[in-house]
Amino acid sequence: MTYVTDVMKPKNIKLADETSFAAALKILRDGGLVALPTETVYGLAADASNDAAVAHVYALKGRPAHNPLIAHILRPEEAGALAHVNALAQSLIDAFWPGPLTLVLPRKNTELSQIAGGWLPTIALRCPDTVWREAFIKSGWTSPLFMPSANLSGRISPTTAAHVAADFGDKINLIIDGGACSGGVESTVLQIHEGHAVLLRPGTIAAEDFAPFVTDLRLPDTAPIISAPGMLASHYAPRAKVRLNAIDVREGEVLLGFGAVMGDLNLSSLGDCAEAAHNLYDYLRRLDREGVQTIAVAPIPKHGLGLAINDRLKRAAADR
């Protein structure tokens, strides 16, 4: 969504620049929350060592307390202070950070707020590739940020500042507008073990891209021990019903096309999964705003980025 005039733009949205980054840091330092753009989706950031700020993230999102948060770090080398990094994890860090990869590793004892998953033996870490990272480093900021996607729990992740404002209005002091996120779906989450890794959440980095580093990449074979909403059947859900693998359009439906299945709105007429991922959440939100009853979605390839798109669509279509 774009605003027709600046007058319509919510006052808490500020363009990404040195001034808004400095304002964001002041808010974080004071225990407030800031919405920040990343290369995947927008996040709702809190100082990870501030219990009250982290509790506020859970309250604002309506997020179940048992769903842990990802600790976002500014520099790849900070991982070792928070978690045990084995050789496999280090090779992935070297290859993909900063970037859209989250690693679940055995946690170390730290000063981080225990509210965001402190009862687990593991911690999820990510070093995002973002416009504010360098500025935060230069300012001397050192604390990790707990930062879930900046949407109401169970709903569609935001890929623009306007999406964040649509979910939270002025309940967040500052939303930094870095434009539409390049990736469009969340980071890929890998749990690292000795000699193998488990793909907990397909995401912006395609599973195939790990082949040079992970010879044994597994899918979770049992229900995850932590029942995280991100892994629950119904999640990433628009208000509209969703029908998958549609090649025709039925009464009362709008068809979200892909490639040759043109549809009313096409995720990528070239059949490019990266373009489709970039458009996915914006189009779902757009159709929801229009009050569409059922969104029928064309078949999407089940490899590359298509794996993440199919995963999110399956959850969007699940019974609620």
**Interface with Mg ion by CB under 5 A: which residues?**
149
Alpha carbon 100 to chain centroid, angstroms:
9
**Binder to ligand TXA among 13, 33, 69, 79 (CB under 6 A)?**
69
232 binds, among ligand TXA, Mg ion, none (CB under 5 to 8 A by kind): none
Of 47, 60, 68, 136, the one binding ligand TXA (CB under 6 A) is: 68
For Mg ion, the closer of residues 14 and 278 by Cβ is 278
**Footprint (CB under 6 A) of ligand TXA, residues 243-282:** none
Residue 123 pairs in a beta bridge with 105
Question: With CB cut-offs between 5 and 8 Å by kind, which of ligand TXA, Mg ion, none does residue 152 bind?
Answer: none
Please identify which residue in 104, 156, 174, 197 interacts with ligand TXA, judged by CB under 6 A.
104
Can you tell me the distance from the alpha carbon of 89 to that of 158, in angstroms, rounded to the nearest whole number? 29
Answer for which of 98, 99, 144, 148 binds ligand TXA (CB under 6 A) is 148
The distance of closest approach from Cβ of residue 228 to Mg ion in the complex, given in angstroms and rounded to an integer, is 9
Q: What is the nearest approach in angstroms of ligand TXA to the Cβ of residue 263? A: 27
Sign of the four-CA dihedral 198, 200, 201, 203: negative
Span interacting with ligand TXA, options 19-27, 122-130, 212-220, 236-244, rule CB under 6 A: 122-130
Instruction: Name the 3-class secondary structure at 101.
Output: strand
Indicate whether 130 belongs to the interface with ligand TXA (CB under 6 A).
no
| Residue 117's binding partner out of Mg ion, ligand TXA, none, with CB under 5 to 8 Å set by partner kind | ligand TXA
Pair 58, 115: CB distance under 8 Å: yes
> Angle at CA 134, nearest 5°, toward 128 and 136?
90
Calpha distance 22→32 (Å, rounded): 13
Q: Closest approach of Cβ 67 to Mg ion, in Å?
A: 9
Q: Under DSSP, is residue 275 helix (H, G, I), strand (E, B) or coil?
A: helix
The 3-class secondary structure across 181-220, one letter per residue, is CCCCCCCEEEEECCCCEEEEECCCCCHHHHCCCCCCEECC
In the complex, residue closest to ligand TXA by CB = 230
SS3 category, 239: coil
Handedness of CA 200, 182, 237, 46 (dihedral sign): positive
Cis geometry, peptide bond prior to residue 98 (ω within 30 degrees of 0): yes
Give the C-alpha separation, 242 to 153, whole Å. Answer: 18
> Among ligand TXA, Mg ion, none, what does residue 197 contact (CB within 5–8 Å per kind)?
none
Task: Give least dist CB 7 to ligand TXA, A.
Answer: 29
Among 32, 128, 158, 238, binds ligand TXA (CB under 6 A): 128
Secondary structure class of 295 (helix, strand, coil): strand
What are the helix (H) ranges across 33-149? 51-61, 79-82, 87-96, 133-139
Compute and round to an integer the Cα radius of gyration of the chain.
19
CB atoms within 10 A of CB 222: 5
Q: Name the segment binding ligand TXA (CB under 6 A); options: 40-48, 82-90, 259-267, 296-304.
A: 40-48
231 binds, among Mg ion, ligand TXA, none (CB under 5 to 8 A by kind): ligand TXA
268 touches which of ligand TXA, Mg ion, none (CB within 5 to 8 A by kind)?
none
**Contact window for ligand TXA (CB under 6 A) among 1-9, 14-22, 228-236, 239-247:** 228-236
For ligand TXA, the binding residues (CB under 6 A) are: 38, 40-41, 43, 67-70, 100, 102, 104, 117, 120, 122-124, 126, 128, 147-149, 186-187, 189, 200-201, 226, 228, 230-231
